[in-house]
Chain A
Amino acid sequence: MIESQQRVDDFRQEVADMRLRDPATSRDRNLLRVGVLMMLVGIVLTVVAYLGSQGASAAYNTSGPAEQRDYIIVAIMGLTISVVGAALFVRYSFASFLRFWLARLIYEQQAQTDRIVGSTGEDTTD
């Protein structure tokens, strides 16, 4: 019983040292939201850059092409943000689905094994 008391004490210590996270602020959900936000921000930025470039001077002087280059850079940044946001969204929206899919696959594999064992005529109900 001394040994078991030691085990319980170890358990208490390990639980006390455990790092916890609040399920309401789960990382997956937050990163999914960040992904959606980045997609929207990226699209808006690209559209703003396009609209801005319409009004930019196309004259062949020092300020015209430079202004347009700025808008091109902003548009590329918007696209990059959108792509990264889309990647985050796909990653974290698919993660939960894939976990479910994996669990289902394991379950179906187990059911299939049960069927095979059943068809061999062995009694597994004991």
Chain B
Amino acid sequence: MISALLELRHLRAAYEQIEVLHGVDLVVPPASVVALLGPNGAGKSTTLRVVAGLHAPSGGDVFIAGRRVNGARADDLARAGLCLIPEGKGIFPNLTVRENLRMATFTGTPLAQIEEVSFTRFPRLRERRRQLAGTLSGGEQQMLAMARGLATDPALLLLDELSMGLAPIIVEELYEMVAQVAREGVSILVVEQFARTVLGVADYAAIMVHGQIVRVGRPDELEAELSAAYLGG
């Protein structure tokens, strides 16, 4: 049996005294896309931060590739092959596209190879390679963030609010890329507030409300329950 690449067991997390995750259980099987959906403030981004090692859990366990990794450093996880593309893209606005991509060379991959792969995936970035990242459009900035993340050759990709502030056509384009990356064998956990597009590429989806997973299933099973979750029903 192939074990899950990411598994959360009764995961709890808090900011100071305020607990925001109240025992989250979630599994991401290898080479699959899992969508974590829920309204604003449900704890979705915190879940990703805990998995990425950016926030220490206050209880429960995070298992990555079958190993309990509570307390693992974010840079160690990144070197191993976990990649978080945070909400707000996380690019360096005052650096050019090329310089942003250079940041991914920490894995030892030459810049030329990173550029080749990135520009093949996102041809628009080739035209913009000398442009400051902060002056790109929102969609191009998200492409750059994804290109830089994928350049590290991740085995587990965490995407936070990929669609935030973007036009629907750009979101569809980005999710086509997500589906392609998943077909290449990368496991993806994607957090989204607005569900429609992500359900089209997800293998499984989970609905999170008030720091707890209330439902897990196939996207078609969950579509009807989403509105109730968002409206507090």
Contacts and interface: CB of A to CB of B under 8 A. Distances in A.
Interface of A: 1, 3-5, 7-8, 10-12, 14-16, 18-24, 109-110, 113-114, 116-117, 122-126
Interface stretch (B130-138, B188-196, B207-215): B130-138
A7 B81 contact: yes
B200 interface: no
A11 B83 CA distance: 12
Interface in B52-107: 56-57, 64-67, 69-73, 76-77, 79-81, 88, 93-94
A4 B134 contact: no
A15 B134 contact: no
B93 to A, nearest CB: 4
Contact of B72 (A11, A12, A18, A122): A18
A8 B185 contact: yes
Interface stretch (B40-48, B113-121, B164-172, B222-230): B164-172
Q: 8 shortest A-B CB distances, which residue pairs?
A: A4-B185, A11-B155, A14-B80, A23-B56, A113-B134, A113-B93, A126-B139, A12-B65
Contacts of B80: 11, 14-15, 18
A5 B184 CA distance: 9
Nearest to B185: A4
B87 to A, nearest CB: 12
A110 B5 contact: no
The range of chain B's interface size is 35 or more
Interface SS majority for chain B: loop
A46 B138 CA distance: 62
Nearest to A11: B155
B69 A18 contact: yes
A109 B136 contact: no
B33 interface: no
Contact of A124 (B66, B79, B88, B141): B141
Given A18-B80, A19-B76, A23-B70, A7 B136 contact: no
Contacts of A22: 70-71
Contacts of B76: 18-19
A87 B70 CA distance: 30
